[in-house]
């Protein structure tokens, strides 16, 4: 089976999933996955539960926010850059209004009751 | 409450009751109205007809959480239009406690090269004394601030201007003390420091001893509002203790905007900076932990703030380099200049505080000069020298001190990221289009604090409009700017908006607090209208100053040059931009 490689960026306390248990700032890992893998497979490969991540990007497109993760089945391809942020990270609405999103995220926002005008989609219990 | 007018022509002052017309106003609403009424729109910002107005918000000086903000207003030498810049500081609270609704600095001293200070105390009403301050000019602020505490005692608060203002730079802020007596809290944008300098005024020292404090008309309602606000701020992930802001400060946004392709890099030529993680909030937190041997959480910039987002950057020896390094400063002096050395970025931030410079305008001007070939992108040591030149007032420093637009002209640079002459902050409008609409249309020139979000169900203006459609985006920007104008009048820090967007009771808390203090019965709709009225006054002033809707535009290069990595241009139409205030 052909392998693909994912350029994976892990920020804050998620950096430990990059291989160094003492790293809490950021890590950049090149993660090999079988062709046809989806985002959930990348999480499995890293050993990271999906609840541990907040804001997520795939090639600079917003793919998840805390409490809104429509990207688990998103197909990955070779060379994709995926970035995972810790739950204490933030991105206020006015500073992300009109940014690029993956189709699944755009659809989730469009179908949400408040059309996405939130800073957080739930208040994560991150203590 | 009182109006205190300080006349710098003959160093006299008057104290009067608040004129009826202004009784319902505070903060930005008050500064903008006084400027619009009393300053000729076509006057020279550094001439005798400009004025400088300081006003605390409605709740400033009370026990409302995160409410120690002061608005500073005047005609801006940078934009040529109306300006309100605000800061969080104990000086703001003291102004409220001294019952001063507006401190208006006017007049024009005939004798040049001399500086004065004023000391305001309470003697049954506010009392003003003048003192000579020429001996404090020409020196870094960190050197001269301690002299004020020696002269007037420890329990004072201090407003001042630095050498940038003395040189008359359009990039010069008004400084205020933080909680540790450092002159590091700035009403930074738009060159109001230079306006204060033209009045020959170097210091405004406040001593609240014996002053009565802010009168609260309906104490029960105020307490109810205060509790709602505290609950919202303490619950929300962004604002709660050890939450996002308290742990990482606003610099938490560096990595986020970088991954989004919206971190303006090397003078807005890319949206992604390979060195971003090195100047991020996460890196500051981890380096501080290593250097101080423990986790260092952030502190408050002003009394009564429970968000506490101000960070400190320490060097390898554990000595403080600067406090606070905001996201926009880390970006302007870092990514926009292609610099990834955190310690050098922090050093430049400290120099900006010392010389009285706005960090955003400084970083963007240096980045424009880098593009013009003055020094290479990424050369942090040469950039530090340029900030020194700005402080010293060398010809090169003066060009940079005039701001990014002037720097672009001096070096023949075409890519100049300004709106209405003011440098664009740290959110690339080609990648984050919503903020681009606000940059283009705000009365302030490109300003990232002009459009904070409030809960849509409270705004009520959206209906079922698609927020991504052109009409939706324009409507949202209008509503955001109007509510922001009100928050800027409430005395609260804009960061309460993070919590009150997601927690509706928090928003009601703000309204209850303001109604409690003033005795008004304003509703959420009233607040949107009051904010809109402030914008109308500001737009009218700008139009009279020759800054009409034609100036509500982005720089041309943003419409033509695709921004990597998304390779997008700013494609919001002129009609959409015009519609933001067409319906106000």
B132 forms bridges with which residues in the sheet? Answer: B116
CA–CA dist A77, A63 (Å, integer): 15
- The nearest alpha carbon in chain A to B426 belongs to A95
| C-alpha distance from B33 to closest chain A C-alpha (Å) | 27
Could you tell me the domains of chain A? 3-87+99-111 (3.10.20.30)
Q: What angle do CA B205, B198, B346 make, to 5 degrees?
A: 65
Residue spans of chain B under pLDDT 70: 454-468, 583
Domain boundaries, chain B: 2-207, 240-416, 433-494+522-582
Contacts of B456 in chain A (CB under 8 A): 114-115, 117
Note whether B237 contacts A85, CB cutoff 8 Å: no
Distance of CA B6 to the CA centre of its chain: 24
Confidence (pLDDT) at B454:
66
Confidence (pLDDT) at A123:
47
CA–CA dist B77, B157 (Å, integer): 26
The string of DSSP codes covering A50-99 is: GGG--SEEETTEEEEBTTB-TTTTPBP-TT-EEEE--TT----GGGTTT-
Candidates 3.60.9.10, 3.50.50.60, 3.90.1150.10, 1.25.40.10; correct CATH number of B2-207? 3.60.9.10
Of residues A89, A93, A94, nearest to B244 (C-beta): A89
Mean local confidence (pLDDT), A63-83: 96
Confidence (pLDDT) at A43:
98
CA–CA dist B104, B5 (Å, integer): 5
Note whether B259 contacts A9, CB cutoff 8 Å: yes
CA–CA dist A123, B236 (Å, integer): 6
Of residues A25, A90, A100, nearest to B286 (C-beta): A25
Of residues A89, A93, A120, nearest to B453 (C-beta): A93
Note whether B237 contacts A87, CB cutoff 8 Å: yes
Confidence (pLDDT) at A124:
44
Q: What is the pLDDT of residues A81-115, one digit of tens each?
A: 999 999 999 998 889 988 999 999 999 988 887 77
Residue A127 has pLDDT above 60, yes or no: no
Query: According to CATH, what is the number of the domain B240-416?
Result: 1.10.569.10
Note whether A11 contacts B476, CB cutoff 8 Å: no
Q: Which fold has domain B433-494+522-582?
A: 1.10.599
Note whether A90 contacts B247, CB cutoff 8 Å: no
Q: Taking a C-beta distance cutoff of 8 angstroms, is the pair B101, B3 a contact?
A: yes
Given the cut 0.85, state whether the ipTM is greater than it: yes
| C-alpha distance from A70 to closest chain B C-alpha (Å) | 17
């Amino acid at each position: 089976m052909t392998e693909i490689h994912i350029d994976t960026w892990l920020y804050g306390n998620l950096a430990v999933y990059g291989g160094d248990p003492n790293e809490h700032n950021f890590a950049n890992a090149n993660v090999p996955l079988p062709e046809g893998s989806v985002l959930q497979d990348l999480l499995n490969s890293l050993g990271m539960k999906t609840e541990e991540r907040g804001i997520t990007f795939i090639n600079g497109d917003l793919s998840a926010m805390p409490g809104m993760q429509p990207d688990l089945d998103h197909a990955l391809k070779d060379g994709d850059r995926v970035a995972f942020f810790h739950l204490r990270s933030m991105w206020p609405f006015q500073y992300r209004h009109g940014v690029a999103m993956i189709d699944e995220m755009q659809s989730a926002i469009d179908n949400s009751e408040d059309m996405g005008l939130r800073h957080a989609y739930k208040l994560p219990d991150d203590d | 409450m009182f109006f205190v007018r300080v006349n710098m022509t003959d160093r006299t002052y008057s104290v009067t009751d608040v004129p009826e017309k202004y009784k319902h106003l505070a903060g930005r609403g008050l500064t903008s109205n006084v400027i619009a009424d009393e300053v000729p729109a076509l006057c020279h910002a550094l001439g005798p007809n400009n004025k400088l107005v300081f006003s605390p918000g409605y709740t400033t000086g009370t026990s409302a959480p995160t409410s120690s903000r002061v608005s500073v207003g005047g005609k801006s030498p940078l934009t040529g239009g109306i300006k309100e810049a605000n800061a969080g500081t104990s000086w703001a609270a003291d102004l409220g406690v001294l019952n001063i609704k507006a401190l208006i600095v006017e007049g024009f001293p005939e004798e040049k090269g001399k500086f004065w200070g004023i000391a305001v105390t309470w003697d049954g009403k506010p009392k003003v004394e003048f003192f000579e301050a020429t001996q404090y000019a020409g020196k870094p602020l960190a050197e001269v601030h301690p002299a004020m505490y020696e002269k007037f005692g420890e329990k004072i608060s201090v407003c001042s201007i630095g050498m940038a203002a003395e040189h008359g730079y359009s990039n010069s802020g008004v400084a205020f003390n933080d909680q540790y007596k450092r002159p590091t809290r700035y009403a930074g944008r738009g060159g109001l420091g230079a306006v204060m300098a033209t009045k020959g005024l170097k210091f405004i020292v406040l001593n609240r001893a014996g002053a009565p404090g802010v009168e609260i008309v309906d104490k029960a309602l105020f307490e109810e509002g205060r509790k709602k606000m505290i609950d919202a701020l303490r619950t929300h992930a962004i604002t709660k203790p050890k939450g996002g802001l308290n742990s990482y400060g606003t610099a938490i946004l560096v990595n986020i905007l970088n991954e989004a392709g919206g971190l303006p890099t090397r003078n807005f030529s890319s949206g992604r900076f390979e060195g971003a993680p090195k100047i991020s909030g996460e890196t500051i937190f981890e380096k501080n932990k290593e250097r101080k041997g423990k986790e260092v959480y952030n502190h408050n910039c002003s009394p009564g703030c429970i968000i506490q987002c101000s960070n400190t950057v320490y060097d390898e020896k554990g000595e403080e380099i600067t406090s606070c390094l905001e996201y926009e400063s880390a970006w302007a002096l870092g990514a926009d200049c292609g610099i990834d050395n955190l310690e050098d970025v922090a050093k430049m931030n400290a120099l900006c505080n010392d010389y009285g410079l706005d960090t955003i305008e400084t970083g963007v001007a240096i980045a424009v000069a880098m593009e013009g070939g003055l020094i290479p992108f990424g050369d942090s040591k040469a950039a530090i020298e340029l900030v020194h030149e700005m402080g010293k007032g060398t010809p090169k420093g003066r060009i940079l001190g005039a701001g990014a637009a002037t720097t672009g002209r001096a070096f023949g640079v075409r890519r100049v990221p300004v709106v209405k002459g003011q440098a664009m902050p740290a959110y690339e409008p080609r990648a984050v289009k919503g903020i681009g609409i606000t940059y283009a249309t705000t009365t302030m020139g490109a300003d990232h604090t002009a459009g904070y979000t409030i809960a849509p169900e409270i705004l009520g203006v959206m209906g079922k409009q698609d927020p991504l459609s052109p009409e939706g985006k324009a409507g949202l920007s209008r509503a955001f700017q109007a509510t922001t104008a009100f928050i800027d009048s409430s005395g609260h820090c804009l960061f309460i908006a993070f919590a009150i967007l997601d927690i509706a009771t928090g928003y009601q808390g703000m309204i209850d607090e303001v109604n409690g203090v003033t005795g008004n019965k304003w509703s959420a709709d009233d607040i949107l209208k009051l904010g809109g009225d402030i914008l109308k006054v500001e737009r009218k002033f700008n139009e009279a100053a020759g800054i009409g809707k034609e100036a509500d535009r982005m720089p041309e290069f943003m419409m033509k040059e695709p921004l990597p990595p998304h390779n997008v241009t700013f494609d919001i139409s002129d009609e959409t931009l015009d519609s933001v205030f067409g319906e106000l």
